[in-house]
Structure 1
Amino acid sequence: MLRGLSTFNLWAADLPAAVRWYAELLGARPYFTSEAVGRGPGYVEFRIGDYQHELGIIDRRFAPPGLAAERGGTIAYWHVDDLPAALDRLLARGAELLEPITERGPGFVTASVVDPFGNVLGVMYNRHYLDMLGRRDAQR
């Protein structure tokens, strides 16, 4: 049923600031921008990672009714090769530590932050992710 991550969306009340923050963090500019009628960009999208997943940032004014503006209860973890370095970079850019580096089991280590726009962002070293990449590369 669930075949893979298509788009992961974050919300920001100050979309231009969020775009700048993520562009600097990722070292890339958004590849897609959707203009809100007469109101500037309402949505931007970055392609990131080994599978070029879509990271979308949406102006909070377009959030579904009832969507909490506070921190969310779901954390999406993005694989990183060097978790301490990734966490240090996020914190240096103004993210707030939510959960410190925590070993979840052999080969599974996580941490999470809250970005300056109130979104929870997880980073993880995940041995299964690397195993999957190795199998994919071997099939090529």
Structure 2
Amino acid sequence: MLRGLTTITSYVDDVAAAAAWYSELLGVEPYFAQPSFEDPAYVEFRIGDRQDELGLISSAYRPPAHSDAHPAGAVTYWHVDNVAAAVARFVDHGATELEPPTNRGDEGWVTASVVDPFGGIIGLMHSPHYLDVLGRQR
């Protein structure tokens, strides 16, 4: 069911400062920013041989279950063909839904997250980028 890593995201208080730090560290600029590169709430880098994605998202968008009392670290997203079905499968096996399936624009991106019975957060994503990379490798 899990087909591969798509994006690792971290919540940060200052996206622009974090993006600048990662740009210097990694030697690459983010390729994507939302709503803009000048005032980002989210930035994304493509790094490594497979162009894996590292995302930095404003703490303002942290899911309600993530609070100072319940800290959140990086969320690793795994590509799945059907996010809603994957969430249902995890829930059927004892996980709890943290973030429901959410469309991210109109290009086919869908994300969700669940908490496993041990407190680990698992990100689930339908990622056109993952499928594109996979197709080029074949």
Relative to the length of structure 2, the TM-score reads 0.47
Tell me which structure has the larger Cα radius of gyration. Answer: 1
